[in-house]
Amino acid sequence: MTHPTNRIFSGIQPTGNLHLGNYLGAIRNWVGMQKDYECIFCIVDMHAITVPQDPAALRQSTREVTAAYIASGIDPDECVIFNQSTVSGHAELAWILGCHAPMGWLNRMTQFKEKAGKKRDQAMIGLYSYPVLMAADILLYKATDVPVGEDQKQHLELARDIAGAFNRFYDVEYFPLPEPRIFGTATRVMSLRDGTAKMSKSDPSDMSRITFTDDADAIAGKIRRAKTDPEPLPSEAAGLEGRPEADNLVGIYGALAGQTVDEVLAEFGGKGFADFKRGLSDVAVQVLSPITAEMQRMLADPAYVDSILHKGYERANAIAAPNLAEVKELVGFLAR
Ligand code: AQP
């Protein structure tokens, strides 16, 4: 049984406009990994429908996320880029793994609790079993490493537990246990309206996030209206404690400009937010404008985007299909 030695799997849900959090927390790090790893970057449309989606919007978002990957610097010749639903092995393996994952493990998942809220009984089974599908995504390719944000760490640990349970039950080292790659430098970007809430596609307020479809004026407007506090910026990182909005904006500036928090504060410490926000707008526009322009250029030619996804499907399925056949054999399913 062969195991790849350095294969990455990661994905983003096509649930709306990608935002600065997706870029700084995920995509930008992937760009840096493609030289050292065999990379599979998925647009996880099956995960997207764990909450209601409009079909036309889902199709459009799938193309947008694909274009955003490539415009951000992911090379479609080097990396496999595809949408999850085209490779049926994800659903098939999720079923098999779901038969090896006790409900007690899933009951601990905090994302389900947060997303289902108080209406737990009305939440869909798909939302509940989301982490099993995520385990299938990773294990279908025997990925060795998974870049994850802090928020997805618990799901990855579950994927490792499920892989271990499967291996033990069939008494075989079939699935490698995927390692989390949590970036020390990855930024957890918070909402522009509330420094304690994650910047998110599903936040009802568009003013809470900077998206890949915002032009320079929109970016500047959102930053200008971002929530702050009345104090000037501190001169050292310790002074950001208890000031979530200031902390978030300084963190974003540093991530975009490639500076540490102390370097940012060395420049802006003692100044008011008006000066700082002008600087932040400039650096945000500088980084995002070329990406959004390239994305728009690609989206004007949907057939090109679809051709990338089709090529990605063929490459992904070529890895997935033999793995799934081996899994079915181990489970004891008679082949056609
Ligand atoms: N605010 C964030 N800061 C840093 N990283 C973030 N990511 C998302 N938001 C931030 C990272 O982006 C990747 C893909 O996320 P996803 O779309 O699959 O799901 P999500 O984490 O649930 O993102 P959203 O925007 O909050 O989507 P919705 O609103 O649809 O649930 C992940 O690597 C994530 O860490």
Give all domains of the chain, ordered by start, each with its CATH number. Answer: 7-182+302-331 (3.40.50.620), 206-296 (1.10.240.10)
Q: Does residue 115 carry a catalytic annotation?
A: yes
Give ligand 1 pocket residues (Cβ under 6 A): 12-13, 15, 21-22, 25-26, 148-149, 151-152, 188-189, 198-202
Query: Residues 6 or more apart from 30 whose CB is under 8 A from it?
Result: 8, 10, 39, 41, 69, 74, 147
The C-alpha atoms of residue 161 and residue 152 are separated, in whole angstroms, by: 15
- Residue position matching structure tokens 């246990």: 177
The C-alpha atoms of residue 180 and residue 152 are separated, in whole angstroms, by: 9
SS3 (DSSP) at 62: helix
State in Å: Cα 142 to ligand 1 middle: 23
The C-alpha atoms of residue 283 and residue 252 are separated, in whole angstroms, by: 10
- The model's confidence at residue 336, banded by pLDDT at 50, 70 and 90, is confident
Say how far residue 20 (Cα) sits from the centre of its chain.
Answer: 11
- 175-204 mean pLDDT: 87
H-helix or E-strand spanning residue 179: strand 179-181
Q: What is the CA radius of gyration of the chain?
A: 21
Ligand 1 atom with least separation from CA of 187: 4
Q: Give the pTM.
A: 0.93
- Residue 321 vs residues 130, 232, 313, 315, 318: alpha-carbon distances, Å: 22, 58, 11, 10, 6
Considering only CA atoms, which residue is closest to atom 7 of ligand 1? 22
Ligand 1 atom with least separation from CA of 44: 18
- Residue position matching structure tokens 């802006």: 268
Q: Which of 22, 192, 209 to mutate to test the pocket of ligand 1 (most atoms within 8 A of CB)?
A: 22
Q: Does residue 227 carry a catalytic annotation?
A: no
Q: Does residue 271 carry a catalytic annotation?
A: no
- 143-158 mean pLDDT: 90
State in Å: Cα 269 to ligand 1 middle: 30
Considering only CA atoms, which residue is closest to atom 5 of ligand 1? 25
State in Å: Cα 147 to ligand 1 middle: 12
Say how far residue 229 (Cα) sits from the centre of its chain.
Answer: 30
The C-alpha atoms of residue 89 and residue 92 are separated, in whole angstroms, by: 5
Say yes or no to pLDDT of 3 above 80.
no
88-144 per-position pLDDT tens digit: 999 999 999 999 999 999 999 999 998 888 889 999 999 999 999 999 999 999 999
259-275 per-position pLDDT tens digit: 999 999 999 999 999 99
Ligand 1 atom with least separation from CA of 47: 18
- Residue position matching structure tokens 């006790």: 102
The DSSP annotation for 277-308 comes to HHHHHHHHHHHHHHHHHHHHHHHT-HHHHHHH
Length of the chain: 336
Catalytic residue among 198, 227, 311, 328: 198
281-335 per-position pLDDT tens digit: 999 999 999 999 999 999 999 999 999 999 999 999 999 999 999 999 999 999 9
Residue 171: count of CB within 10 angstroms of its CB: 8
- Distance in Å from the first CA to the final CA of the chain: 22
Of 78, 64, 65, 89, nearest to 31 by C-alpha is 78
